[in-house]
Amino acid sequence: MDGTGILKGLAVTFKRMLDTYIDDFKRGKKRYYTEEGIRYRQSAEVKGIFTVQYPEEKLPVPEEFRFVPFLVYDEGPNGERKDRCTACGICTKVCPAQCIWIKRATNPKTGRPVPRSEEFYIDIDMCMNCGLCAEYCPFDSIKMDHDYELATYDRHKDNILNKERLLKPASYYAQIRPLNYAREEEAKRQAEEAKRKAAEARAKRMAARKKTATPPKKKDNES
């Protein structure tokens, strides 16, 4: 109890403080307000000041980052929107907060349901950002967003998102989650390929059967 412990401890803080200045001198202007600087300050070898000057600087979010779901639509060649959602309701069933409401569209003539949503709401005050809806959507139609700056002035008006506000183009999705997007597109392409091949094979089989099917008929006729 002679105070050496405290002094040694203070040496640690002193070194930390020096590190800050040394690093500032060494890296100069590159350290702040540049992408490289932000990346360095988030890496495992960072020394000195660690914080990011939000909102002037923002941390890059990783691809898997998730915040509030959105709906994906495909863009047609003439800019028309094609919803991916089929109103199957799986997202409403997995949602732990039960904050997704879907009204399935019906055919006005027959009254039968059609695979399309008429209304789609997400109450983002209740949403717990768990990402289960995106994980289990079989049509890659609902995805988690990267936009976390959601402050509004009126939560009653602004925080129930309707379809208009939920829908975002597939190109946006591809931009925020390039790897996932590429993987899903690849899977889709393969599925289509397999389907096409199966169809071809079936057509071939059918053709072959026709060929082989005709001679026995003749035989039948003969006998």
Partner 1 sequence: MSEQVVATEQDLLLSRFPEVVKPDERKGYDGYIVDSKALLDFAKTLRDDLGYDYLSSVTGVDYLPEGKMEVVYHAYKTTGGAPLVFKVQVPREKPVVPSLVSIYPGADFQEREAWDLLGIKFEGHPNLKRILMWEGFHGHPLRKDWHEPYYEEEHKPYKSRWPEGKAFRAEDRNPFGKNVDYPAGFDPAKWTPDISDALIYEGLGRIEKPHDDLPTEQIIVNLGPQHPSTHGVFRMVVTLDGETIVDLEPVMGYLHRNHEKIGERNTWLMNMPFTDRLDYLSPMSNNFGYALAVEKLLGVKPPERAEYIRVIMAELTRIQNHIFAIGMFLNDMGAFFTPSLYAIEERELILDVFEAVAGSRMMVNYFRFGGVARDIPEDVMQKIHDLAFERLPRRIDELDRYLTNSEIVRARGEGVGVLTAEQAIAYSTAGPVLRASGVPYDVRRAEPYGIYDRFDFDVAVRYHGDVYDRYLIRMDEVRQSIRIIQQALKQIPEGPIMTGKPQYQHRVPPGESYGRVEGPKGELGFYVVSNGKGNPWRYHVRAPSFINLTALAEMAKGHKVADIVVILGSIDIVLGEVDR
- Looking at the Cβ atoms of 72 and 87, the one nearer to partner 1 is 87
**Least distance from partner 1 to the Cβ atom of residue 8, Å:** 6
Identify residue 78 by its one-letter amino acid code: N
User: How near is the Cβ of 28 to partner 1 at its closest, in Å?
Assistant: 22
User: Least separation, in Å, of the C-beta of 197 and partner 1?
Assistant: 23
Residues near partner 1 (CB under 8 A): 1-6, 8-9, 12-13, 16, 42, 44-45, 50, 61-66, 87, 89-90, 92-96, 98, 100-104, 113, 119-121, 123, 125-126, 128-132, 135-136, 144, 156, 160, 162
Q: Where are the beta strands (DSSP E) in the chain?
A: 69-75, 81-83, 100-106, 113-123, 142-144, 160-161, 167-169
Which residue lies nearer to partner 1 by CB, 63 or 211? 63
Residue whose CB is less far from partner 1, 136 or 205: 136
Contact criterion met (CB below 8 Å) for 68 and 122: yes
* Least distance (Å) between residue 103 CB and partner 1: 5
Report the nearest approach of partner 1 to the CB of residue 66 (Å). Answer: 4
By C-alpha distance, which of 177, 181, 183, 180 is closest to 146? 177
What span, in angstroms and rounded, lies between the C-alpha atoms of 141 and 175?
A: 15
Listed residue (124, 168, 176) closest to 146, CA to CA: 176
Q: 3-class DSSP state for residue 106?
A: strand
**Residue among 11 and 203 whose Cβ is closer to partner 1:** 11
Q: Regarding beta strands 142-144 and 113-123, do their DSSP bridges make them parallel or antiparallel, or are they unpaired?
A: unpaired
Nearer to partner 1, 2 or 164 (CB): 2
Tokens of 18: 């020096």
Count how many Cα atoms sit within 13 Å of the Cα of residue 15 in the half-sphere of its side chain.
Answer: 7
